[in-house]
Chains A and B, each alone.
Chain A
Amino acid sequence: MSTLSTDTPVPAAVAGMSAFAAGKPQQIVTFKVEGRSFGVDVGAVREIKGWQPTTPLPNAAAHVLGVINLRGAIIAVYDLRQRLGLGPSPVSRSSVVIVLDLGERYGGLLVDAVSDIVDILPSDLRPAPDIAGDGDDVLQALLVKGEEVVALLDLHAIVRESTPAFTA
């Protein structure tokens, strides 16, 4: 089932939303951070690569790990754990960077491990609970699949540097 074209020109998060709204079945990539499950629309994922050292950027927000060389292009890498307010990620052998299409540019997301690609239906989705907490602004929706709850991420919120949590 190939429902999403992989070179969609619209920003991925928006594309995801419209697909949800249209009631079409969809695929998401799920991954783990600190034991919790998260997911992004498969159409936004360009590639998944192992960790490589980043070049830190001066005066960037704490969740901006720096930039890496992706075959000649320079992309910024973000630490999802740090962004969720869980402290800096320990980088290990299984750490991976998910390269995401953020619309006008690419960005990398450092996560603990990639789990799966799952098919979902819009009816599986629940709105994100409205309780204030660190990193809650990055949640787009919750996916309840049997026992498991997967948090779908708003990619543009993840890469945003000035969030309420950081300016406070």
Chain B
Amino acid sequence: MDALAEIRGIYFDECDEFMGQLEGCLAAVADGRATSEDINAAFRAVHSVKGGAGAFGLTELVEFAHLFEACLDALRSGRVSVEEAPIDTLLQAGDVLSEVITAARDGGSRPPPPDLVHALEAMAGGNPVKKPKPAEFDLLDDLGPAEPAPAAAAESADEGPARHKLEVRITPDRDVFRRAFDPRMVFDALASFGSMEVVCETTKVPAFDELDPLDCHLVWVLTIDTDASDQAIVETLDSFLADHEFRIGRPGETSMGDAAPAVAEAAPLIPLDAHAEGEATASPAAAPAALPPAGAGGGSGAAPPGAPASGQPPARRTGGGTIRVDLDRIDRLMNLVGEIVITQSMLTERAGVLPKREAAAFVDALFSLARQTRELQDNVMAVRAQPVKVVFQRLPRLVRELERTLGKKAHLVLAGEDTEVDKTIVEELADPLIHMIRNAMDHGLETPEERLEAGKHADGTIRVSAEHRGSRILICVQDDGRGINRERLMQKARSRGLIPADAPDPTPEEADNLIFHPGLSTAAAVTDVSGRGVGMDVVRRNVEALGGRITVESSPGRGCKFTLGLPLTLAVLDGMIVRAGTERFVFPLSNIVETMQLDAKTVEQLPGGRHILQLRGEIAPLLKLRELLGIRAIGNEPNVVIVETESVPRLAIAVDEIVGQQQVVVKNLESSFRRVEGVSAATILGDGLVALILDVDALPGLSQSQRRLPSATELNSGAA
């Protein structure tokens, strides 16, 4: 049953994707900018959820999805115009569907609210929608004589339920086995419709020495004696096969060159697999030509000419398609690329010792190698990349929920959803974004009355955008609310002693940035949503832990804008390599403010042995990297790196040498040893040796603990 559990897991993963698509489409409907493609996509998403749910016997989910689908179908077919559609009902249905899915995933039950069901039924056609047919294919069931489907699906009500013989001709694509397709699953599914006879045609199988056992040359002809509608059978087939891979009709019809008219009506126009966005622009008339030859089977496929302009040609696996890959495999690939980079720098070092004549050609080859490696690395990174849409599409629902709890109205505008960023970053993006949206809704936006008073539209606007900027991604969350209340923030900061009473007034920007200070919140009341003062400082900490930055711009009365800058990946890092003693260390470039030569005149020793550095009128604590990390070496440390840390805005760290800047591949140290204080990870440098990446935020703390363990670690074997 493990395999089934796995398939089930994949199904629920896909549900997340479908729900994401649905969310986006519904948002478009709600904004009144929905195209027919959006409505079709919404329909397909719900349909796909339903199809899978049927396969797993999730009745509650099937029933609700079916009802929802009927509503979307009404919208799609124009029976209900988009303008008159009950948007709230649809949005709510989307939310409920997501809850039902979650419940089904956890093995629970979440009956949809009856009033919603009534509203949906009303929309779907005035009268209650007929129950969907029983699970199209119940994997858990034995293959015993299944009951014939009692009622036809709503959309094919014109099909009579009379028992009749139906022929299904299955001509799978040649690569069908590579798609892990098992024809028995189709037969099992169809067997539930009635008694069935299967004939396998082997005429297309080539001569033995030309035969690739992984290619499928078989054609199956199934004759089913059933009272189910064609539509129901097509839907079942649709879950396993592409449209061009099967054809149904009366006995004897399906082997003919042309698709029978009766079939044409029943042929599904909407492929189950709704990912083929890129092909959506092809005209239906061009579709038959696009069919791969393997699927043609002597005919032009099941798509009738002049199909309603759904814009979805049935041929979809022509352009590569997608596969799911285990993340571990990509990581291994990434590691290998890292290895190549190391080997390459080893070669580059070697090139120096070659005689001049040979060196030139060698260096040329090295340049191409360097370029190819970089491209390889970019491509592997691109495999890991995901659009921020994955996170953005959760936001409309969040905003709707907040609208309900807060009694405010907000219009959410998303931009740049297709901006891609490494999967690791996408995962880490959700929490800060949700936090910022909550903040904007709760503190940023005024109540509708206040807004009208201030001469603004009653509905607030929150704009979330993403864009690439160099090797970083910028995410902006902007609201048109009241802005940050600087006076309140200052007042609080003063009363808590965060700003000395005699200090000059901070600039407006400095004042606004107090919002990131732990323990400051301007909300007058602590609400369910936010206001406990653990908001923005947590966001900042999380963002900085990812090597990112967050800033805020606010204009009182006009709104406020948070800008989040994040690296595109966590797998590589821009670092500055320094030397301390014989060891090299990497500072994340994002932490570094500047580097300089140490001028002895600017260093002062404080009573107690600590040193400080005067830095253009400001004072920075000075730490020596060798001392911090217990490295023995003689001589002064002539260079200093100024870094910005969480607790110390400017920290000076003295090092022996600044070696250079380099992109390094981040290797987790915890999995190979354990967490090491002051070190965030490790990397492998060009000479194949390991260098530690410093955790700059932990360095000040390290200097204090170091005081208790003064001697070098190598020699204090338990003596300390």
Contact = CB atoms under 8 A, between A and B. Distances in A.
Do A and B truly interact? yes
Interface stretch (A15-23, A63-71, A119-127): A63-71
Contacts of B631: 56
A105 B669 CA distance: 11
Interface string B706-720: 000100011111100
Interface stretch (B101-109, B185-193, B385-393, B675-683): B675-683
Contact of B684 (A54, A56, A69, A166): A69
Contacts of A63: 717
B58 to A, nearest CB: 34
Given A73-B672, A88-B717, 6 more contacts: A57-B676, A74-B669, A74-B690, A88-B714, A105-B672, A166-B717
What 3 pairs across the A-B complex have the smallest Cβ distances?
A: A62-B717, A58-B629, A55-B690
B691 interface: yes
8 contacts: A57-B692, A62-B714, A64-B673, A66-B690, A71-B339, A72-B339, A73-B335, A165-B718
B671 interface: yes
B336 interface: yes
A72 B673 CA distance: 15
A60 interface: yes
Contacts of A105: 671-673
A5 interface: no
Contacts of B709: 59
B228 interface: no
A76 interface: yes
Contacts of B718: 62, 165-168
A59 B677 contact: yes
A38 to B, nearest CB: 20
Nearest to A87: B717
A64 B630 CA distance: 14
Interface residues of B, number: 35
Contact of A55 (B692, B702, B713, B716): B692
Interface in B624-670: 628-631, 667, 669
Nearest to B584: A55
Contacts, number: 89
Contacts of A166: 717-718
B682 A55 contact: yes
Contacts of B682: 55, 67, 74
Contacts of B628: 58
A78 to B, nearest CB: 10
Contacts of A58: 628-630, 676-679, 692, 702, 713
B672 A76 contact: yes
A54 B672 CA distance: 14
A22 to B, nearest CB: 28
A74 B705 CA distance: 27
A40 B651 CA distance: 48
Interface residues of A, number: 32
B505 interface: no
B688 interface: yes
A74 B630 CA distance: 21
A82 interface: yes
User: Which residue of B338, B583, B714 has the most chain A CB atoms within 10 A of its CB atom?
Assistant: B714
A59 B713 contact: yes
A152 to B, nearest CB: 24
Interface of A: 53-60, 62-64, 66-69, 71-76, 82, 87-88, 104-106, 161, 165-168
Contacts of A69: 684, 688-690
Contacts of A64: 673
A104 B668 CA distance: 14
Contacts of B689: 53, 55, 69
A59 B630 contact: yes
A67 B673 contact: yes
A82 B705 CA distance: 24
Contacts of A53: 689
User: Which residue of A58, A67, A69 has the most chain B CB atoms within 10 A of its CB atom?
Assistant: A58
A60 B709 CA distance: 12
B665 to A, nearest CB: 9
Contacts of B336: 72
B434 to A, nearest CB: 33
Nearest to B669: A74
Contacts of A106: 672
Contacts of A82: 717
Nearest to B674: A161
A165 B719 CA distance: 10
Contacts of A72: 335-336, 338-339, 684
A82 B718 CA distance: 11
Contacts of B583: 55-56
A34 to B, nearest CB: 16
B553 to A, nearest CB: 40
A104 to B, nearest CB: 8
B626 to A, nearest CB: 11
Nearest to B678: A58
A74 to B, nearest CB: 5
Interface in B81-121: none
Contacts of A71: 339
Contacts of A73: 335, 667, 672
A58 B628 CA distance: 8
A81 to B, nearest CB: 11
Contacts of B339: 71-72
Contacts of B688: 69
A58 B705 CA distance: 12
Contacts of A76: 672-673
Interface in B32-90: none
A150 B60 CA distance: 66
User: Which residue of B673, B692, B718 has the most chain A CB atoms within 10 A of its CB atom?
Assistant: B673
A166 B713 CA distance: 13
